[in-house]
């Protein structure tokens, strides 16, 4: 499918059964729309708006999201195993209020993103790159953050007793968020 054939969708509209391979898609708005049974492979989305978009049985394989807005998206509805195909890359994107609860995000990249109030509960976050991201209010209970890169993150607050952290990389700016649950503060 040619990139020109994809257009913005109004709230409530549905894009059904589309397969898109290797396209660079820019400026699309699918806010409050629905993607049903779609496949996007090796696509780059730049400055696109996916806020509150329903992603039912939709797969993204080796895709990048650059400067995109993905507020309140439920990635658990994409269908079993759909995100597992290949890691996704998010750069300078905003994903506030999104849920990845219980999803395998091994090797994903969230570089310089805003991830406020994101639900990563019971999520496999091994080798995830969160470098430079704002994690204020993000929930990590029961998540696996082994070998994750948390350097340069802001707002990180998680209970190290409730998550696996072996090999995680932190710096002095992100480390205090691990001590909040113990009442320890840095001044």
145-181 pLDDT, tens per residue?
999 999 999 999 888 888 898 998 988 776 666 656 5
Residue 128 Cα distances to 107, 172, 181, angstroms: 5, 19, 23
Q: Yes or no: say if 74 and 55 are a contact pair by the CB < 8 Å rule.
A: yes
Place of tokens 């989305």: 45
Q: Quick one: residue 95, left, alpha or beta (phi over 0 = left, psi -120 to 50 = alpha)?
A: alpha
Q: What's the chain's average pLDDT?
A: 88
> According to CATH, where is 2.160.20.80 located in the chain?
16-94, 114-187
110: confidence class by pLDDT, cuts 50, 70, 90: very high
- Give the pLDDT score at 2: 40
DSSP tag of 187: -
Q: Which CATH superfamily is domain 114-187 in?
A: E3 ubiquitin-protein ligase SopA (2.160.20.80)
φ, ψ of residue 91 in degrees (nearest 5): -130, 135
DSSP tag of 91: E
Say what percent of the chain tops pLDDT 70. Answer: 86
CA contacts within 13 A on the Cβ side of 32: 3
- Give the pLDDT score at 4: 39
Q: What is the dihedral of CA 121, 122, 126, 132, to 10 degrees?
A: 0
CATH topology of domain 16-94: Pectate Lyase C-like (2.160.20)
- Give the pLDDT score at 176: 62
């Amino acid at each position: 499918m040619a990139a020109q054939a994809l257009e913005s969708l109004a709230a409530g509209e549905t894009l059904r059964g589309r397969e898109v391979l290797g396209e660079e898609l820019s400026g699309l708005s699918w806010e409050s729309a629905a993607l049903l049974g779609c496949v996007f492979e090796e696509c780059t989305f730049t400055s696109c708006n996916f806020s509150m978009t329903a992603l039912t049985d939709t797969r993204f394989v080796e895709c990048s999201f650059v400067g995109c807005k993905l507020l309140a998206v439920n990635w658990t509805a994409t269908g079993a195993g759909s995100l597992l195909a290949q890691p996704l890359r998010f750069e300078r994107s905003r994903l506030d209020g999104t849920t990845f609860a219980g999803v395998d995000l091994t090797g994903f990249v969230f570089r310089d993103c805003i991830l406020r109030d994101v639900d990563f509960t019971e999520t496999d976050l091994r080798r995830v790159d969160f470098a430079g991201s704002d994690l204020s209010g993000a929930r990590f209970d029961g998540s696996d953050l082994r070998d994750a890169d948390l350097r340069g993150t802001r707002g990180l607050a998680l209970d190290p007793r409730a998550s696996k952290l072996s090999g995680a990389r932190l710096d002095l700016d992100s480390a205090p968020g691990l001590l909040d649950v113990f009442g320890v503060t840095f001044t």
